[in-house]
Structure 1
Amino acid sequence: MMNRIEILLFFILSLIISVRSTTYQCDPTIQCGCSAQSTVLISRIVGGEAAADYAWGWIVSLQRSLSHSCGASLLTSEYAVTAAHCVYDVSDISILSILAGTNYLYYPSVTTIQRRAVTGVIIHPDFNSVTITNDIAILQFDPLNVSSSSKLAFICLPKQNQDPFQTNSALVAIGWGTTSQYSKTPSSYLQQVTVQAFSSRSTWCQQSGIANTAVSFCAGIIDGGKDTCRGDSGGPLMAFVNNTWVLAGLTSFGYGCAQAGYPGVYARVSAFISFINSTVDFSVLTTATPPSQTETTTAALITIDSGIKNTNHSIPSGNDGNAIYKPMTVMRLWFSVLSCFLLCYLL
């Protein structure tokens, strides 16, 4: 009897994971938006999960006095983009450094790790620390070693004022932030989570405290349970467009973390392409951005970790009827059907 039960439970688990997992295969021949680990598997069951090694070669940890503070994304070997609120209060940039080439924060023996002191910080001139608008800054540092063995990559940017997503598009956030709004300790291992873009006019987005939808947008899950959190600030929210990862947003702020009805707020990267180019005086790597989803389902079993996160800020602030995906509703349906099948089978 136990063998029959174990077989059935394994079948149920495999079926659920196959329905709720997505495989992304980026194009390794392009200059940006694809890492050494070009195939990325992301679960959509609950919360977030540990990212595969070298799946996100552009992610870096922005650190204060060698302690993780925020995330950032590599644009070139010597520039990265992050949130302005991560650095606007720093009077001495000598305390700032970036850690690149690793998913681990506390394992210096990883051979691909590179650390660089931050040598320059350019905050958007219109950044407002009260409303958290124009929440973007550029970091400069001595060039990283970018070779075939470095495992580093660069994120693609959207074109000016052309978002690489639409309302309800699936977006992926990554970071080392806390896995609970009540925790103060960063995750030691890089996490990833899938959320969805909200209409900026929706009640849920408005009640999250968004102040200017031209430069910010909302993403999350209407039922909660998936989000970014404290320590993920400045990190990337990414869209998968034409087999390429494109930087759609920067983690900015939110009302708590993963609360139902309160999506996170992200800086709208497409609004700042001119600022990025004019500030760092280089031609950033952009990609065409017609929203498209090139995903395939997979039945592979993956390890699930607790969800990631929102930021150092919590701003409370209220329904346009948008059909936001509700993962737990789907889960309950599957469990109901499969539980019935299990009972009938055993009886």
Structure 2
Amino acid sequence: MLADQPEQPGTDLIAPAETEKKNWRRWLRWLLSLGLTAVTIWYISRDVDLTEVGQSLRGAALGWVVLGLLIIGVTGLAKAWRWQQLFSPRQEAPAFRHLFWSLLLGQFLNLALWRFGDLARVYDLNQRTGRSKTLILSTIVVEKSLHLLFVLLTLLLFLPFIVLPMVRTPVIATTWVVVPLLAVFYLLAFQTDLIIRLSKKVGAWLPAPLEERLLRMAISGLEGLAALRDRRAVLLLLVSSALIALLEIATPYVIFFAFDLPFGFVEAALLNMALALGFVAPSTPLKIGIFEWLTIFVLRQFADLPDSLGLSYALVFHGVVILPTVILGFMATVRSRWRWPRWPG
């Protein structure tokens, strides 16, 4: 009888050991994030008169701040609409409301756990619609790639109008990223037979169950790129991505007016680009400290702003970006149909 067989020594210790290791790593990441937050807050405020910061904040034009909040809301709607265009055929795309709330859930969780929100979007939309997780993930990969592509195109478009001491040969460096990215898009969208053949060759070296799973994932993932083979869908993706890029630039631009800063659309574009690229790597919870430091650093490349004014702008800009994400993201979490896993311990 299997029940009478002696237990293998140490097997009951494997799971607790793995759990303890994961918990230790999780706590270490949180401690490092909190430490980085504390250091950046100290660094950006060490020479700042908090009284002057308070005066600058009270003097901010509220109307421009409200306009910034509205732009953030419209940006979220535009991102959900773009995500919907990535599902093909168009008639079978998930309902807009499901995409909108899943997107907000992901943005909310990304504030605390780097890129965890993107995985949450996959599971949440899967629970809402029953669509394949691999298919959903592939649409998110394309979405992120489009975002990066338009950020880099923004760099190519606006940087010739201004010279920053921190930038060297930006056009050449950016081209090295944009061209390969477009080539990858082409291969994945229009050379699907080649990708499937390569997947079969790789799978031939694997056990039969793994080979079957790899091929199934490859085909399902390529289905998520089907929209790139539809001219109308590609046009809508380009239009929506351009609209999102303009809205993301418009947010820091209108906040300039709240503090009567002498900057224009070009400076707003470069500030948005710096923040977008600066948060590719893991960051602090809610991006506190890092967001302010990056904002002040970029603004100082344009003009010698008083420390208190630069920090005041950064705080308001950060609040405009974060507040809608937190409020709507919390609502999305409440509405989520995803059964959240119970963390051990």
The higher relative CO (CA closer than 8 Å, separation ≥ 6) is in 2
Higher helix share: 2
- TM-score category of the 2 structures, normalised to the smaller one: under 0.3
TM-score when scaled to structure 1?
A: 0.27
- 1 or 2, which has the higher strand percentage? 1
TM-score scaled to structure 2, two decimals?
0.27
